[in-house]
Structure 1
Amino acid sequence: MAKPAAKVSAKKPAKAKIKTAKKPALTLSMLKPSVNNMSVRVFARAAGLDHSETDVWGHTRSPEYMARNPAHLTPMIEDKGLPRGVLWESCAIMQYLANKHGLEKLYPKAPAKRAMIDSAMFYLIGTLYPYVARATYPALNFPQYAGEVGHSDAHPDKKSEAQKAAIEAIAEPLEVFHSFFRNGKPFIGGKNPSIADIRLAATLEFLAVIDYALPEWAKDYMAAIEKKLGKAYAEPAGDVRGYIAYVRSQANA
């Protein structure tokens, strides 16, 4: 008698493994209209860093944000390698990330060259940017700093005088960047833009809101940086320019 054929058990198809999206290594909290924030946004793109951006407009004073960043400032990065997990201030962020990832093209390692990059950035945030802020913040509808004439209850004429004085003061530090830090080179960094160049070009974007007459070298310099960095510069710059166009349209309405 023939043996019955053995039953062939049907194999269950193997379950497909679901790949979870890899979380970006770096999280950047930012405000799109800000040139301080624009600096880091341009840098992260130019450096090709794996990162995500969160627009925290209106949330920097929230309990959640303040718990991480008691200074309630932007830009802010979150990175596991940091002692407190977060870091703010645009120049400090660019320096840290350039050091961490060995980005010598943007932030040279040679002490003398690096010192010039640092000097240019510190001169910008200590001298040029305060003038730019006093000159442009009223037109941008940004709050001015405590202790400034623009923040006080002074007569509008006094505020206007202070703004005019700031506008007039911009020319001198601008010339310092041109004649001293660039010194005939295409960029402060030499043949390629450095983090100091990114910070300077971003800062100069704000001057469009007051129709500041930039010298020709500055116009050419900004155009050269945008051409060199491409979308890495153009995309964040577009947000700043869009905001400027908006506030100007509101002022003319």
Structure 2
Amino acid sequence: MLQILGKTSSINVRKVLWTCAELALPFEQEDWGSGFRATSVPEFLALNPNAMVPVIRDGDFVLWESNSIIRYLAGRYHGESLYPADPCERARCDQWIDWQASELNRAWSYAFLALVRRSPAHQDRSQIDLSCANWARHMAMIEGQLAKTGAFIAGSAFSLADIPIALSINRWLETPLQHGDLLAVEAYMARLATREAYWAYCRNGTP
């Protein structure tokens, strides 16, 4: 059976758990990371030298990096409805997955560590304000895209890209800052609320 190593409070682990739920894929999950088993031990480093979660073991196959994992799972376990075979549709899906990991994550990092994690190293007010402004700018891009599609982030149908994007929106909503009116985002989250996995792994109170 597929094994998922990583604590369920991790946004990146929840990407993998949500994907498994959409694929109706059974798995075993082990808690690793801060507050649980340390990822710095040799046993874990042999699986991922970055000492970060999630990691999966699928038989003899080991993989790390959450976005690589969800793509692998969709490809390996007949997830064509989530990750289209058509090159153009797949590229559009990949575009938003990669954007979330590179641009959006970078925008929120400082503000999230300051306002949610209460990191003593991230309490510079000017840096918090800058991060919040950058985060809001990226959320406006999501708002614009959702207003354009009228449905999901990559088009008219739910796709693999909606998993990291929705988790990012959840993080935005759960962080104590000024959110403003994002009507397309609000409607999008309401559409996602019809999916069981959304409540289990996205809107579960964990930012």
2:193 to 226, 240, 248: 226
Q: Which residue of 2 aligns with 1:13?
A: none
What residue ranges of structure 1 are gaps of 5+ in the alignment? 1-24, 151-155, 245-253
Taking only the aligned residue pairs, the percentage that are identical comes to 24
Q: 1:1-253 residue pairs with structure 2 within 5 A?
A: 25-57=1-33, 58=36, 59-80=38-59, 85-141=61-117, 150=122, 156=123, 159-180=124-145, 183-207=148-172, 208-213=174-179, 215-227=182-194, 229-230=195-196, 232-237=197-202, 239=204, 241=205, 243=206
- Deviation digits for residues 115-155 of structure 1 (CA, Å, limit 9, x no counterpart): 001111111111111112222122332769xxxx83xxxxx
2:199 counterpart SS class = helix
Rounded to whole Å, the distance in 2 between the matches of 1:53 and 1:182 is 36
- The amino acid that maps onto 1:183 is K
Aligned residues: 202
User: What whole-Å deviation, never above 9, does each CA across 1:8-31 have from its counterpart, x for those lacking one?
Assistant: xxxxxxxxxxxxxxxxx2101122
Structure 2: state its 5+ residue gaps: none
Give the TM-score normalised by the residue count of structure 1.
Answer: 0.72
Alignment match, 1:10: none
Q: How many Å separate the matches in 1 of 2:89 and 2:46?
A: 37
Of 120-129 and 50-59, more deviation after overlay is shown by 50-59
Kindly state the Cα deviation for residue 91 of structure 1 after the two structures are TM-superposed. Answer: 1.0
Q: In structure 2, how many angstroms separate the alpha carbons of the residues matched to 1:195 and 1:182? A: 19
1:106–1:189 contact (8 Å) kept in structure 2: no
Which residue type is aligned with residue 164 of structure 2?
Answer: R
Range moving further from structure 2, 174-183 or 118-127: 174-183
Give the superposition deviation at 1:187: 0.4
For the aligned residue pairs, the C-alpha RMSD in angstroms reads: 2.3
